């Protein structure tokens, strides 16, 4: 057995000197150090040896293994050095080639549209406020006139993130920017509780809903909320504001229509459509063959919402609206699928 071990070591070391590349080195390792190698077979035969011979044979086998492994490591390092030297001597670098320009990042088309919307609203006297993305059920629904178990909650498939131990007020990813109405009204009302100041604000933010992804809907989307509260504000103010916004956004000849709708936090409520610029009003998959594309929902702020925000509904009135920048970008640039905005396809993004 000792002679056999010595012969295995000798053959392994002799064959190792002939290895010249990494592929051959890996084959050598499997042949001489793998599970089926002759040396490993020696270890598997220990059980058949007499007890008095096992220590001597085991010591010789372990020493042979250590020598083979050390030689393998040295050869691997030598092959790496040969590879590096070959690359340095054979590979060439043409220093006369022009350098590669860095690819410069640009604003995402959703961000561009969002900034355009906010710029127009700022020109119309709206002050921009930001709102949080994680909300409570109280602010996202209850204070906006969505009582628990109200059927209107089914209009928005909510993504809850913490419900255990919070009763009827779990944490969730906000489904719309409307919770910002309550937070902003309470902020201004706290400045002067007896005589809250009039407000006109825009609230941009990301919203999340567990919806079926289609050409017109996504699980996440940007939204811009508009809110105006003061004395003597009427529905005519709302219509005039949105009609002026549409002309500034889509051109002086943009056609706009108002349709009656329902939202728990506004009464009366409406949805505003702009003529579909993708198909020119003829009908396509984006506008569902109607020739019109919904760009926002709106209405007069519900008295309950005004009261929850700290404004006396007997004295104050107001209007609110919420719009989606992605939908409006689809109109402006003739985009026929909202999924392009979050697909990270450079061929699409580089157009903007």
Q: What is the CATH number of the domain that holds 305?
A: 3.30.930.10
Whether 187 is in a domain gets the answer yes
Q: How many CB atoms within 10 Å of residue 259? A: 12
pLDDT score recorded for residue 305: 96
pLDDT tens for residues 325-335? Answer: 888 888 778 78
Which pLDDT band, with edges at 50, 70 and 90, does 212 fall under?
A: confident
Pair (275, 191) in one structural domain: yes
Pair (69, 140) in one structural domain: no
Percentage of the chain exceeding pLDDT 70: 98
Which pLDDT band, with edges at 50, 70 and 90, does 139 fall under?
A: very high
Pair (122, 164) in one structural domain: yes
Cβ 252 vs Cβ 262: under 8 Å: no
Strand pairing report for 256-263 and 266-275: antiparallel
pLDDT score recorded for residue 178: 93
Whether 104 is in a domain gets the answer no
> Which one has a higher pLDDT value, 56 or 204?
204
Whether 96 is in a domain gets the answer no
Q: In DSSP terms, which residues pair with 206 in a beta bridge?
A: 222
Pair (33, 75) in one structural domain: yes
- 297-318: average pLDDT: 95
Pair (69, 118) in one structural domain: no
Whether 208 is in a domain gets the answer yes
Pair (250, 167) in one structural domain: yes
pTM, entire model: 0.67
Instruction: Count Cα neighbours of 151 within 13 Å in the Cβ-side half-sphere.
Output: 1
Pair (21, 123) in one structural domain: no
The answer on pLDDT for 249 being more than 70 is yes
Pair (318, 213) in one structural domain: yes
First to last CA, the chain: 76
The answer on pLDDT for 90 being more than 90 is no
Whether 57 is in a domain gets the answer yes
Rg (CA), the chain: 36
Of 37, 59, 90, the one marking the end of a domain is: 90
Pair (115, 83) in one structural domain: no
- 204-233: average pLDDT: 88
Pair (40, 163) in one structural domain: no
Cβ 79 vs Cβ 19: under 8 Å: yes
Pair (19, 123) in one structural domain: no
Residues with Cβ within 8 Å of 49's Cβ and at least 6 positions away in sequence, in order, are 1, 57
Whether 129 is in a domain gets the answer yes
pLDDT score recorded for residue 164: 77
Q: Is 345 exposed, middle or buried (0-12, 13-18, 19+ CB in 10 A)?
A: exposed
Which pLDDT band, with edges at 50, 70 and 90, does 252 fall under?
A: confident
The range of the structural domain enclosing residue 68 comes to: 2-90
Q: Cα separation of 30 and 208, whole Å?
A: 54
Q: Taking CA 217 as the corner, what is the angle to CA 212 and CA 221, rounded to the nearest 5 degrees?
A: 115
Please report, for residues 10, 24, 26, 85, the alpha-carbon distance to residue 17 in angstroms, rounded to integers and kept in the order given.
11, 11, 14, 19
Q: Which residue has the tokens 């270890």?
A: 43
> Which one has a higher pLDDT value, 265 or 106?
265
Q: Which residue has the tokens 């508009």?
A: 226
Cβ 272 vs Cβ 309: under 8 Å: no
Which pLDDT band, with edges at 50, 70 and 90, does 278 fall under?
A: low
- 265-270: average pLDDT: 94
Whether 120 is in a domain gets the answer yes
> Which one has a higher pLDDT value, 308 or 49?
308
Cβ 177 vs Cβ 205: under 8 Å: yes
Q: Is the dihedral of CA 166, 168, 172, 178 positive or negative?
A: negative
- 160-178: average pLDDT: 85
* Number of domains comprising the chain: 2
The answer on pLDDT for 96 being more than 80 is yes
Of 61, 90, 119, the one marking the end of a domain is: 90
The answer on pLDDT for 270 being more than 90 is yes
How far is CA 213 from its chain centroid?
Answer: 14
pLDDT score recorded for residue 155: 66
Whether 97 is in a domain gets the answer no
Pair (120, 80) in one structural domain: no
Q: Which DSSP state fits 197?
A: P
Instruction: Count Cα neighbours of 278 within 13 Å in the Cβ-side half-sphere.
Output: 23
Residues with Cβ within 8 Å of 27's Cβ and at least 6 positions away in sequence, in order, are none
SS3 349: helix
């Amino acid at each position: 057995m000792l002679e056999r071990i010595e012969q295995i070591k000798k053959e392994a070391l002799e064959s190792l000197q002939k290895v010249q590349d990494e592929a051959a080195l890996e084959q050598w390792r499997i042949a001489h150090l793998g599970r089926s190698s002759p040396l490993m077979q020696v270890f598997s035969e220990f059980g058949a040896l007499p007890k008095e011979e096992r220590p001597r044979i085991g010591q010789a086998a372990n020493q042979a293994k250590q020598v083979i492994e050390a030689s393998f490591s040295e050869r691997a390092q030598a092959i790496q050095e040969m590879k590096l030297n070959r690359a340095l001597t054979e590979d060439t670098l043409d220093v006369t080639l022009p350098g590669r320009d860095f690819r410069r990042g640009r604003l995402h088309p959703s961000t561009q549209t969002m900034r355009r919307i906010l710029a127009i609203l700022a020109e119309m006297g709206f002050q921009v406020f930001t709102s949080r993305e994680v909300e409570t059920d109280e602010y996202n629904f209850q204070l906006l006139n969505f009582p628990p178990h109200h059927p209107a909650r089914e209009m928005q498939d909510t993504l809850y993130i913490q419900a255990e131990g919070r009763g009827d007020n779990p944490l969730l990813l906000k489904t719309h920017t409307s919770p910002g109405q309550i937070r902003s009204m309470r902020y201004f009302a706290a400045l002067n509780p007896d005589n809250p100041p009039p407000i006109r604000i825009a609230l941009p933010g990301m919203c999340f809903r567990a919806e079926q992804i289609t050409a017109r809907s996504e699980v996440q989307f940007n939204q811009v909320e508009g809110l105006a509260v003061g004395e003597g504000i009427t529905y005519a103010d709302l219509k005039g504001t949105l009609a002026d916004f549409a002309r500034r956004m889509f051109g002086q000849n943009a056609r706009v229509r108002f349709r009656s709708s329902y939202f728990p936090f506004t009464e009366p409520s409406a949805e505003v459509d702009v003529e579909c610029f993708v198909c020119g009003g003829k009908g396509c998959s984006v506008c569902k063959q109607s020739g019109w594309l919904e760009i926002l929902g709106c209405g007069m702020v519900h008295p309950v919402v005004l009261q929850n925000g700290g404004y006396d509904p007997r004295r104050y009135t107001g209007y609110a609206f919420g719009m989606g920048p992605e939908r409006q970008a689809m109109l402006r640039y003739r985009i026929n699928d909202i999924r392009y905005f979050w697909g990270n396809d450079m061929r699409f993004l580089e157009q903007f």
